Amino acid sequence: VPEVQEIPEMVIMGVSACDVQGLKILDRVFMEDEYKDPNYTNRREKTVIISFDCLAPYPSCFCELVGVHPYPEDGFDLNVSIFEDGVLVDIGSQKGRSFIGEDQKFFQASREQINKREKNRQIVVEKIKEQNREFDLEEITEKLKGAYQTELWRQPKDIENCVQCGSCTNNCPTCVCFLLEDTGSQEIMKKVKVWDSCLFPGYARMAAGVSPRPTLYDRYANRLLCKYWYIVENFGMKGCTGCGRCIAGCAGKIDKRKVLTEVLRERQRI
């Protein structure tokens, strides 16, 4: 039985919309499934999430392509929208309402302030759409179903640049894969949970060194199929928030948007 760690209450401030979406996915995996992770649940219940509208998306951001906006709509306790002459604070939960309490600095927003926020939000939405015009991820879940063929994933030449460093999985807000390690001494043994990466050659390796995903292309395909198909089937939402960290942090300079666009076009062709 896992030991539940005692932790203090905390506030995480400045959470982006893509990370709020990531937390919603992690909640489905670790809190809302049949088997709950007690330590994750404990931390979530003791944490206030204060999110912010995105004002300056990175070139690698593509949230709009996967149905996520650059501003949170739910999943936060408080959300802050900044504009020229002030801020708007939305209350997203009872936890957020209790956090603010009866603070007299807060008052009802005017229609003019709300309009300013909506204008700012739309500017960012259009910027993200513009920087992603060359990519097409429309109906990606339906189009990727059954796309196991290794040859299909050999078409995008960029995949061969992957050095299997794990940067994409380590930076992803929705990756949940872990490895259980047995450590200890003659007196005491511990089973420790550590993060793992599905791109590592040893991730799927079994006894006698056999692996169902022996090539880099198999592992890369599995990662993207997991994000856009498997997680949708199991948890009802895409496992990608469009944050773009996997693109920005890739040592091989692989743009996942380009890879997916090429794979989807090739799949339609065959």
Listing DSSP states for 132-178 in one string gives TTT---TTHHHHHTT---HHHHTSSGGGGG-----HHHHH-TT---E
Asked whether 87 and 19 are in contact (CB, 8 A), the reply is no
Q: What is the pLDDT of residue 53?
A: 98
Model pLDDT, residue 42: 94
Q: What is the mean pLDDT of each run of 10 residues along the chain (270 residues)?
A: 79 97 96 88 95 96 97 96 89 92 76 93 98 95 90 91 95 94 86 91 91 93 96 95 97 96 87
Of 169, 179, 165, nearest to 227 by C-alpha is: 169
Neighbouring CB atoms inside 10 A of 226's CB total 19
For the chain, the residue count is 270
What pLDDT, on a 0 to 100 scale, did the predictor assign at position 100? 86
Phi-psi region of 75 (alpha: psi -120 to 50; beta: other; left: phi over 0): left
Q: How far is CA 108 from CA 86, 116, 254, in A?
A: 13, 15, 46
What is the structure's pLDDT at 83? 86
| The predicted structure's pLDDT at residue 33 | 78
Helix (H) or strand (E) holding 193: strand 189-195
